[in-house]
Amino acid sequence: MASTRNARVLTLIALIIPLLVASVVPMSARAQEDRVEVVARQFEFDPGRIVAVAGEPLVLAFRTEDVTHGIFIDGQGVDVVVEPGQEVVVNIVPSSGGKFKIRCSVTCGPLHPFMVGELVVEQRGINPLFIGSLASLLAVGILSTAYVLRRHPSGTRGGEE
Amino acid sequence: MEKSRLLRRYELPKRRDILSIGWIRRLVTHRAFQFAIILPNLFIFWLVILAGFFGTPVGNMNISITFVWMLWWFALIAIMVPFAARIWCTVCPIPAFGDWIQRRGFIRKRSNQNSTTQGRPWPRKLRNIWLQSFGFLGIATFSALLVTRPVATAIILLSLILVATVLAVTYSRRAFCRYVCPVGGFLGLFSMFSSLELRAKEKNLCKRHVSKDCVKGADISFGCPWFEYPGTMKRNNYCGLCFECVKACPFDNISLKTRWFGKDLLVKEGRGIDEAWKVFIMLTLAVLYIVVMQGPWGFIRSWANVFYVPPYGWAISGVNSFLLYAGIFWGSTLLAIPGIFLGFTALSRYLGGRDVKLRRVFINLAYAAVPLALTAWIAFSIPIIMVNWSYIVSTISDPFGWGWNLLGIGDIAWQPFLPRWIPYVQMAVLNVGLAFSAYYGALLARQTFGPERQLRAFLPLLAFLLLVATALAWLFTG
């Protein structure tokens, strides 16, 4: 039956496409500065997005432009406080790729819970977490379609009450 | 009407009627049930409102913010709606004052009360969810204020109580809940995905039952406050789970059952352009909220933060930038995203068959995005609870932020719960949403175009769903 054949083809595609996506993404590593100056102010970090390379040392120098802020980086063991007029230097070596939020950990004003930045750690020029996410979405979308086609081959009734 | 094979297939094999459990049935059929569960909630509501007005203005140290926008929001969107439909409406205290005035009592039903004729009928032109959508958009535009300033939360809650009460005095039944409540609009939409449903067991019995106690009311019960008739009700959208129909039915013909997620999405009856638009409002708002509140772009946050004056002056910030933000907010939710979806819909129609009207294709296929929109909101809510749980705990001990420590947990340090894993949890949730959206999308394409043209018509819809999911994935992990 045509739908069952379609379902098989889609299942095959669902398995192959994620591998293709992972393989065609450029592998070039992004140039990386070893020291990044980060300014914390209500309610942002500047720069808001820092790109690092897994396994390479990264120095983050934080200072605040207004009130006291806290610096907490998910999964990196960083939790420090930055007072006005002070510079706090944090040395990290991100071990794995992915996206790690930088959060303010000291109540600094109304939008404090939303004061976030991002540390994106790449491996071989890509963010493996994002590529994995894309692959999973593609697989899920295609497999769901294949499942419907397999379960309801053309010729059967479809619809509702 | 006989159920189609499709729907029978997706009913869980042994679905127990929860109302067949003796103590639950006795509980919900007790006249005092709703009053008794609203009362403690009303106490918390007043506490929240008082804390909003008199507590600390620091949001994360005030119960009005931590309880409403962290705890309640997460519980509502991630637990109540997916697993228990509009169960929040059962306990919601906002319409309580209106109910009590309308019914001239807290609990008892007076025998001479006829709830079908009390109050004016709701205007026919407003019998849709547009008011709810615009109300929600209006409130959401000021969300950066609302979820961070306790006094704003208190004002909005008081305003909702006031509007609900005035409408209850003027119009019949719960016109506010059904047609006006800004929360009710998306609760109804997302409840279609819920794994719980209240339905008539035998619809033929309802047809034969002349007195229609569930609609008109009986000696022991009021007519459905939500203007629903269980005898024809096939979707969760507008059932507030008040259980008045359970009290009313002399044949015990109402059941409350678990079911497979999203069954209502395949029901044709009741679909409309207002609901279809609501899907895109909610989907777009989820993306915008993630960008504004959880993204690294501080300048967007300052746009949203109406009263914030950054050092670089009013010319490019303050009111001007807020107006720009509001324009993007309204333009993307009401025009841009529905417009883009219309393009994909036209492609579906081109591939699937032009004998179906474009408007019908747009409406039908829009429902496929409901699971994705719901899971986008859940994914948005996950960091709210995982990162901020300690604020909730500490405000239990110090609800007003006055330095109390009633339970000895007021000084608990801020400590996110497994923050490293948040993107993984978000992606897992998003994948579930996409799976359901693609699944129901394929079935909706079949329903709209027939089995032979199903796949061709579905592919553009799948592309749209993947596009949105990819954008969300980038925000979470990219």
Please report the pLDDT score of residue A27 as a whole number: 39
State the Cα–Cα distance between residues B357 and B345, nearest whole angstrom: 11
SS3 assignment, position B418: coil
Structure confidence at residue A30 as a pLDDT band (50, 70, 90)? very low
Across chain B, mean pLDDT equals: 93
State the Cα–Cα distance between residues A155 and B193, nearest whole angstrom: 27
* For range B184-208, the mean pLDDT: 97
Compute the count of residue pairs across chains A and B with CB atoms less than 8 Å apart. 187
* For range A92-99, the mean pLDDT: 95
* Res. A15: pLDDT tops 70: no
Please report the pLDDT score of residue B411 as a whole number: 86
CB atoms within 10 A of CB B232: 13
Test B478 with A99 for CB contact under 8 angstroms. Answer: yes
Those of residues 48-67 in A touching chain B at CB distance below 8 A are: 48-49
Helix-strand-coil percent breakdown of chain B, rounded to 5?
65, 5, 30
State the Cα–Cα distance between residues B36 and B96, nearest whole angstrom: 11
Quote ipTM for the complex: 0.89
CB atoms within 10 A of CB B392: 19
- What single letter denotes the amino acid at residue B333? T
CB atoms within 10 A of CB B117: 10
- The per-residue b/e assignment along A66-95, b for 16 or more CB within 10 angstroms, e otherwise, is ebebbbbbbbbebbbebeeeeebebebebe
> Which residue, chain included where needed, has tokens 């979707």?
B235
* Res. A98: pLDDT tops 60: yes
State the Cα–Cα distance between residues B233 and B216, nearest whole angstrom: 16
CB B465 within 8 A of CB A141: yes
State the Cα–Cα distance between residues B338 and A21, nearest whole angstrom: 29
Between strands B221-222 and A58-64, the pairing is unpaired
State the Cα–Cα distance between residues A150 and A144, nearest whole angstrom: 10
* For range A33-46, the mean pLDDT: 92
State the Cα–Cα distance between residues B228 and B233, nearest whole angstrom: 7
A115 has a chain B CB within 8 A of its CB: yes
Which residue is closest to B234 within chain A, CA to CA?
A: A161
For residue range B111-160, what is the model confidence (pLDDT) as tens digits? 666 655 578 999 999 999 999 999 999 999 999 999 999 999 999 999 99
The angle that helices B130-141 and B273-294 make with each other, rounded to 10 degrees, is 10
State the Cα–Cα distance between residues A68 and A46, nearest whole angstrom: 15
* Res. A19: pLDDT tops 60: no
For residue range B356-366, what is the model confidence (pLDDT) as tens digits? 999 999 999 99
Structure confidence at residue A31 as a pLDDT band (50, 70, 90)? very low
DSSP B56: -
Residue A81 dihedral angles phi and psi, to the nearest 5°: -115, 135
* Res. A158: pLDDT tops 60: no
Lowest mean pLDDT among A21-35, B116-130, B263-277: A21-35
Choose, out of A46, A74, A78, the residue to mutate when testing the contact with B (most B CBs < 10 Å): A74
For residue range B227-253, what is the model confidence (pLDDT) as tens digits? 999 999 999 999 999 999 999 999 999
- Nearest residue to B263 (alpha-carbon basis) of B197, B336, B326, B347: B197
* For range B466-477, the mean pLDDT: 98
CB A10 within 8 A of CB A142: yes
B416 has a chain A CB within 8 A of its CB: yes
Test B420 with A74 for CB contact under 8 angstroms. Answer: yes
For residue range B273-331, what is the model confidence (pLDDT) as tens digits? 999 999 999 999 999 999 999 999 999 998 898 776 555 444 445 678 899 999 999 99
State the Cα–Cα distance between residues B295 and B306, nearest whole angstrom: 18
For residue range B352-392, what is the model confidence (pLDDT) as tens digits? 988 999 999 999 999 999 999 999 999 999 999 999 999 99
CB B461 within 8 A of CB B447: no
Please report the pLDDT score of residue A13 as a whole number: 63
- Nearest residue to B352 (alpha-carbon basis) of B338, B364, B367: B364
% of chain A exceeding 90 in pLDDT: 70
Those of residues 296-325 in B touching chain A at CB distance below 8 A are: 296-299, 301-302, 305, 308
CB atoms within 10 A of CB B112: 5
* Distance of residue B306 Cα from the nearest chain A Cα, in angstroms: 12
> Is residue B386 packed enough to be buried (19+ CB in 10 Å), middle (13-18) or exposed (0-12)?
middle
* For range B32-53, the mean pLDDT: 97
Lowest mean pLDDT among A27-41, B85-99, B246-260: A27-41
* Res. A159: pLDDT tops 50: no
* For range B6-35, the mean pLDDT: 83
Test A75 with B465 for CB contact under 8 angstroms. Answer: no
Structure confidence at residue A151 as a pLDDT band (50, 70, 90)? confident
Contacts of B149 in chain A (CB under 8 A): 110
DSSP B223: P
Q: What is the CA radius of gyration of chain A?
A: 23
Which residue is closest to A44 within chain B, CA to CA?
A: B298
Is the peptide bond preceding residue A57 cis, with omega within 30 degrees of 0?
no
Test B466 with A137 for CB contact under 8 angstroms. Answer: yes
Please report the pLDDT score of residue B110 as a whole number: 77
